[in-house]
Amino acid sequence: MSHDTTNHSTAASHAAADEEQTASVPAPWLTVMNREIGVKLGDKAFVLSTVLTVLGIIGFTVFTFFMGERTTSYTVAATDDQSLAVVETARDAARPGTTIELESVTPEEARALLESEEIDAAVTRGDGEWVLTARTAMDGTLSGMLSDAARDVTAQQNAAEAGTTTEQLAVGSQVETRTLSDEPDRGVAANVLGFVFAMLFYTAAIIFGMAIANSVLEEKQNRVVEILATAIPVRHILYGKVAGNCVLAYAQIILYGAVGLLGVNVLGRAESVGWILEASGWFIGFFVVGFAAQASIWAVLGSLASRTEDLQSNTGPILSVLIAALLVGLFAKGTWLSVASYVPLVSSVAMPVRMLTDTVHWWEPWLALGLCAAFGLLMFRVGERIYQRAVFQGGQALTWRKALKLER
């Protein structure tokens, strides 16, 4: 489909004029993408919200730093002599800023104290293992200190009993963490990160999703799309918009991550956040796939609407899915979480959170990622079909079903 095809008698002068005039655009979607990014970067509200979020991240980092500097005090009950030794060891080894108070009680008293929240944890010597009990959730720092102490104490005892090999030294040093309530616990780390992951995914999906929908609708409403369609293939408009907003969303999350990391590095606490990086790696993978998977849905919604008000009603379903992802990130556990971790889009939050709390098989995140990608591809194909038809159909808001039956 060359521009220069002509069998006119003055073909020579034609070709000359053509060369001077226009080279065919190899990838028009790139031009669309660049505009999309340019327009968004020129949008004061967008820039302001990004700057505010960056300030928020800095503020939060500084806040947690000063909170960390404060003295934290734990009260721990020991129910027998061996446990007492563990708690004493932990107390003596406590870092500056952390203190442990010790109470020696019977197991029943320990339970009562836990229930009334007068103590943070109880240590019991069980059958060849240590049992740490908390009421609902075990504090990560405290758990770490007590576990270390328990290992030391066991090793000392085993050494005293003339064991010599490392294996013998470690016998009976397992630590089990329990909570009084039966419900599986998500732990503090999973709670905090779950919140962060869920919020990041949710806000990015909505901010950039709405941007895609509005930009499609703007072109539909103002009929620019008719002019664009005569210049380039219509589907390239869709590609460009989706690509542009993906690039922006990824750039934004990288910016947020970089600011957060820079913060902890400047404050010299980098060694304590290693575990965040590990969990975040997967989250970023899921974010990339999950965001792309839902981007084309927004483009469809924009093309189905005929006025801005239509977007308020037809974005309902996708918003529900995103809110579900948010809630899963905040609250889900157990079977719910396991199931959610395979549901496309929701998995973008659920699987990383699940990986923080449960042990998952190596293939599980890959499977969830694959499902999400497949879903995204399907949505993209359907979206392409609908978009190319609906975007020329002014007048009234359309439904997905109607739009699929349309002809251009």
Partner 1 sequence: MSLAESGAAYTSVRYSPSRAGDTLEVRDLTRRFGERTVVDGVSFRVEPGQMTGFVGANGAGKTTTMRMIMGVLNQHGGTVLWNDQPIDSGARSRFGYMPEERGLYPKQRIADQLGYLGQLHGMQRSRALAQAHRLLERFGLGERAKDRLETLSLGNQQRVQVAAALLHDPVALVLDEPFSGLDPTAVDAMVGLLREYTARGVPVLFSSHQLDLIDRLCDALVVLDQGTVRLAGPVDQLRAARPEQYRLVCTTDAGWTRGQPGVEVIDLDANTAVVQPTNAQARDHLAREAAARGMIEFARLRPSLGELYREAIS
**Using CA atoms, how far apart are residues 111 and 120, in angstroms rounded to an integer?**
11
What's the min distance (Å) between Cβ of 297 and partner 1?
A: 23
Decide the pairing of beta strands 72-78 and 130-134: unpaired
Count of CB atoms situated within 10 Å of the CB of 225: 19
**Using CA atoms, how far apart are residues 314 and 137, in angstroms rounded to an integer?**
41
The only residue of 394, 396, 399, 404 in contact with partner 1, by rule CB under 8 A? 394
Q: Which of residues 104-143 bind partner 1 (CB under 8 A)?
A: none
Q: Which of residues 300-329 bind partner 1 (CB under 8 A)?
A: none
CB-count burial class (<10 Å; 0-12, 13-18, 19+) for 252? buried
Q: Which of residues 187-226 bind partner 1 (CB under 8 A)?
A: 218-219, 222-226
**Using CA atoms, how far apart are residues 12 and 326, in angstroms rounded to an integer?**
63
What's the min distance (Å) between Cβ of 39 and partner 1?
A: 7
Q: Is 405 in the site for partner 1 (CB under 8 A)?
A: no
For residue 4, what are the contacts with CB-CB under 8 A and spacing of at least 6? 14, 15, 18
**With respect to partner 1, which residue has the nearer C-beta, 47 or 159?**
47
> Locate tokens 């008698």: which residue?
9
Q: How many residues bind partner 1 (CB under 8 A)?
A: 41
Site pattern 32..61 for partner 1 (x: CB under 8 A): x--x---x----------------------
What's the min distance (Å) between Cβ of 33 and partner 1?
A: 12
- Check: CB of residue 143 under 8 Å from CB of residue 72: no
Decide the pairing of beta strands 175-179 and 130-134: parallel
**Using CA atoms, how far apart are residues 152 and 164, in angstroms rounded to an integer?**
15
Site pattern 7..36 for partner 1 (x: CB under 8 A): xxxx--xx--x--xxxxxx--x--xx--x-
**With respect to partner 1, which residue has the nearer C-beta, 240 or 290?**
240
Q: Which of residues 224-253 bind partner 1 (CB under 8 A)?
A: 224-233
**Using CA atoms, how far apart are residues 314 and 318, in angstroms rounded to an integer?**
9
**With respect to partner 1, which residue has the nearer C-beta, 36 or 310?**
36
What's the min distance (Å) between Cβ of 311 and partner 1?
A: 17
- Check: CB of residue 133 under 8 Å from CB of residue 175: no
Q: What is the binding site for partner 1 (CB under 8 A)? A: 1-3, 5-10, 13-14, 17, 20-25, 28, 31-32, 35, 39, 218-219, 222-233, 392, 394, 407-408
